[in-house]
Every structure is written in C-alpha cells, then in structure tokens.
Structure 1
Amino acid sequence: MSFSAKAATHLGYYVYALVDPRDNQIFYVGKASANNRAFDHLKARKEEGEKQRRIAAIRDEDLEPEVQILRYGLKSEQACLDVEAPIIDTIGLENLTNKVRGHGIERGRQTAKEIERLHGSADVELSTYQGALMLFFINRTYSPTKTEQEIYDCTRQYWHRVAKKTRKPGADGKLRYPTALAVVDSVVVRAYSIAAWFPAGATFTSRGIFSPSDRWEFVGQLLTDHPLAGRRLKRKGKDILATQQGYRYVN
C-alpha cells in the first residue's frame, strides 16, 4: 500500500507509527512530509536491525505491519519533531525499535528525580579534576525508563574508532582511561570502571546483535560513589557539550 498523491499532499507534515498486528502495539514512531516514507520501512532492506527483525517476525506469521498516522497537517518539520519526541518518550524507547529518543529530549519525559539531577546539579569545573576519564554522551539513547542494564549498555557500546592505546593496557597493566562517565545534557548520570575493551558485539548486551567494523565496547562495573556522579560538568564555565564521535577524553 501507499498514499495517493492527493492523500499525501493532504497529510503534509505528519507523524506515523508502525503497529504489530499480533498485539496492536506500536513498535516504531517516525515523521514524514507529504510522502510515503511511512511505507518505506516495509520494503526489503539489506540491513538487519531490530525494526527489520520485528517486521520479518510479523511476516513469518503471514501478517503485515500496520501503518497508523498519529498526527498530520502539521506546519513544519519542527512541529513533527515536537510531536514525535513525546510520543517516543511516553511509550518508552525500550519498547520501540527506534534507535534514539528523538529531538527536543532535553524537554522530554523525565522523572522528578531526573529533572532535579539534570537541572539542579552542582557544577564542577573539569580542569580541577585530576583523574583520567572518558565521557560518553548518551543524550539520544538514554531514557529514565530504561533499566540499569540498558543504561550500562548504551554507555559502553558501540563506539567508533576508539584508539588502540585507549583499549590496550600499558606496561603497568592498567588502562590509560579507566573510568567512564555517562553524560546527559552535561550531567553525569552514571559512572563505571572500565575493565577491558572488546570488538562491538563480542559481549552480552540488551541492545541486540550488532557487529560493525571498527566499533568497540567496554565491560566494567557501576561506580555508585564516584565524586562526579550527579554533577554538571563545566569547562571554563561552560557546559560540556557532546562531540560528533559521541565521546571525549579528559586528562
């Protein structure tokens, strides 16, 4: 199925969902603009992601995912983003095959505890901290509705081009950067020790099978008493911002 040109024009900017007919549950939320993007997911694809596996499982039972329109006639792409993000947050990223929470998550679903942590946290100037750290920016994959295992997994996986000198212990048998901080909107939401690095997909994960080239993951332990946990990170008085590669080194 696809929309006719007339129907697509009438839709304008819209937000849609893919629904599993076996339980009538939404498993993917997306946005589009006067086109058939909602149906593109149902075409044969080479990649093997969680969404495609869900579609394949539905078809194995001689059924077909249903496309539902959640909101249409929106005035702009930004309006779509403002609708899409809270829907994803309401359902919970962990209950969807979407890979990220969506845009505008800094204003999205949070517990009262999370709001206080993100917006009431005490500032700390990183230049005053002496230890070696890796900061992992998980803004797009973090959700307060995730389990501890899921938060751990989205912190430790799947990082691109982690240098060999970072992954391999030195002559003293220790890693150069032994501590990982999970950072959301400049606030440290979790801290972990790093025990070892592995190729992506080599260890147990809650995120599904994933083994691209030149990506890496670590294993470690939660540090409940790390001094930076729950603090807002600053550098020269400004919030620490996410990097394009998703992580950065300190000291």
Structure 2
Amino acid sequence: MFTITSQALDALEATPAWKRWNGGPNGLGRSAEDVYASFVGAQAESHEELVRILGADNLGGGVPVAVAKALARLSPWIDEPAVDPAVLDQVAAELGLYVYLLVDPRDGVPFYVGKGRGLRYAAHGLEANDVAAVGDVEQSRKHTHISELRQQGMEHEIWILRYGLTAGEYTAVEAAAIDLLMTFPVTPGENGQRLPLAAQDQLTNARREDARSHGMRLLDSIIGEYAAPPLATETPLLLITLNGWNDMPEGEVIAGGTTRYGAGYKPEWLVSSSRVRAFEAIGESLSAWWNLSPSSVERRGIKHVVAVHRGVTRALFEIQHDSWESVVTDRLDKRGRTISKTAFKVTPISEGALFDEVVGRHGHRVVGRAKGAQNSLYYWPR
C-alpha cells in the first residue's frame, strides 16, 4: 500500500514537469503546496493507481499525468525505479514482430490496432513501436485519444495480441484484428476492467488454437517477467510448475474432501490483481495429486509451496501440517512397484518478509528452469 506524504513539496516546484505545466498558458499559478495538499494521506495499492489518483480532477482544473507522476515519484514512500534498459532489450527480443492493441482503461475498449517491433519508449506505461504506415488523420485521432486520457490522469493499456511472428504473419494478423473490431463492436468491460481470455464463454469453441505461448498478453505482464529478480532465498521450498489451465467437468476430489473442477494456470492470472483473487484456485492446482513423499518434504524442513509459471514465482502458500493424503494408483514404476500419489491442503500467504523474498511485486525467476517445463515439482534450494 502506497501512502502520499507531504515531504516532497519543495522538490516538486523544481521538476521540469511542474515548470512546463504551471508556467504555461494553462497553468493554475498554484504553489506545489496548494496542489499536493489536496492529496496528502491518499492511499493506493499500486503506483499505477496512485498516478490515477493524483491525476484526478480534484482541483477544478485537473493535474496532467506528467505532474501526477512527478508528485508520485517525489514521495519518499514511493520507490518506482525506471525499468532497466536491459530488461526492455530482453522484452524486445522476446516480442520480435508483434501486433498490439491500445485499450482505453475507462471502458476496456480497444481504440487502435498496430504492428511493431521492439519498444519505443518507457514512461510508466509503455507504448508499442508503431511501424505501420498511417495517414495524418489516423495519427491525429489516436494521439487525441491518448491526450484525453492523460488529461484525466490515465494512461492507455497496451495489449499484445500475437508476438514472435514473421513479417507476413504480423501484417495478416493486424489486418484481421482491424476487420474484426470494425465489424463487431466491443462491449465495455465492467469498470473498464478487461483480463486476457476472460470471456471464453462468449464462444462455443471447445478450445482455442495453440499460440505457442505467444497469445494475448498485457505488455506490462511480459515486462514484469523480465524485471523479476532471480530467486535467492535460503528458505526451503517446494516449487511446483503450473502450465496451462485444464478444465475438469466431472470434478476431482482433493485433500480434505474438496472437489476441484480444473487445474493449471489461467492467462488472466498473469495480471497481479486477478491473481490475488484467484489464490484459492491456484492453491487447489498446487495441492494435488503428486508423486511426492511427505517424509522427503518434512526431512528437508519444507513448510511452504510456491506456484511457478513461465519460470517465475507467482504465489506462495503454507502447507497445512498433517493434511497429507495418499491414494494408490493402478500404475507401476520402472521397478514394478505400485505408484502412490499425494495431496495436501494449503493456506495462501500474500504479505510479509518471506512473501517479498519469494514472490514480491514481479515474482522471482527460477534460474535454470525452462518457461515451458512440464508440470513438475522440485526442491529449493538445490
């Protein structure tokens, strides 16, 4: 939780953002104290939300997003370092050629489709590099829309529709996306919120075509993966890799008599706010059924299990003591012995020193594990 303090007032008036705005023709001629005092004590759960609060029209004249960012970054309670250029280079290499959507956060409706390569700039939100040859009228409409958002203290969202494409593919995907959105209007999302692949019930398709893990993503979630620091904790952990989500229409009984109706990791959980609300489902995915010896876990002093997806830690849980259950399968191992599978119950951990060490803001990269590793479990430290 970020809290706005009053300790950055003097520094605010020296920022270029403040001077350009307040000294310009549309400036209010107010002191930093007058502006900042309107927000002292305000709280937000993320830097993005904080900037939106600061950019709100609380002063009768509004504060442009550039000034809102300056205010946020000057607060001693805010630590929002610029994205490491090396991280952006890695993201650009990962994306290759891609097709992207610019989305209005007020209603979750796309207002521009483009194709690009690399990343053009980073300033709180990242805008994809537009390499399409477009006319002045189209550029003007796009920039006007973005300017309107910034005047309200908001930034457009960047969604990556497909990436890792060939030159022919990304031109075709861009054209198909434009035709689709110009033909079938998009219904505004609830409170503007939109999550990847969260409207699958809209179609009768039983499945979607394999996108080689290069499907619909928020650009911020891709950046977050590369910004994740290496996992370095010395705390003993059980790490379990979760791949794509699989529905279980018939249900499956797990530890404690609970029935789960799916297991794996859903695309929308790559968005942190959605992941927090899904801790119960993620915990159920982790908890059963594994070829795992409870005695081996206890002998290593392991009390916690971690969900890993695409090589990054996503959620932390405490294994409930004495909750282990086992079932005997009809399968045999290489020595001809019957294979048993185990399950356990978990309690989510969403804050504290261990959470920061293991998950934190961006998650932590598990060095040496491939992003596409099959559902597997392994011990940490190695």
TM-score bin, normalised by smaller chain = 0.3 to 0.5
TM-score by length of 1: 0.44
Return the structure number with greater helix share. Answer: 2
With CA pairs under 8 Å and 6+ residues apart, which has the higher RCO, 1 or 2? 1
TM-score by length of 2: 0.30
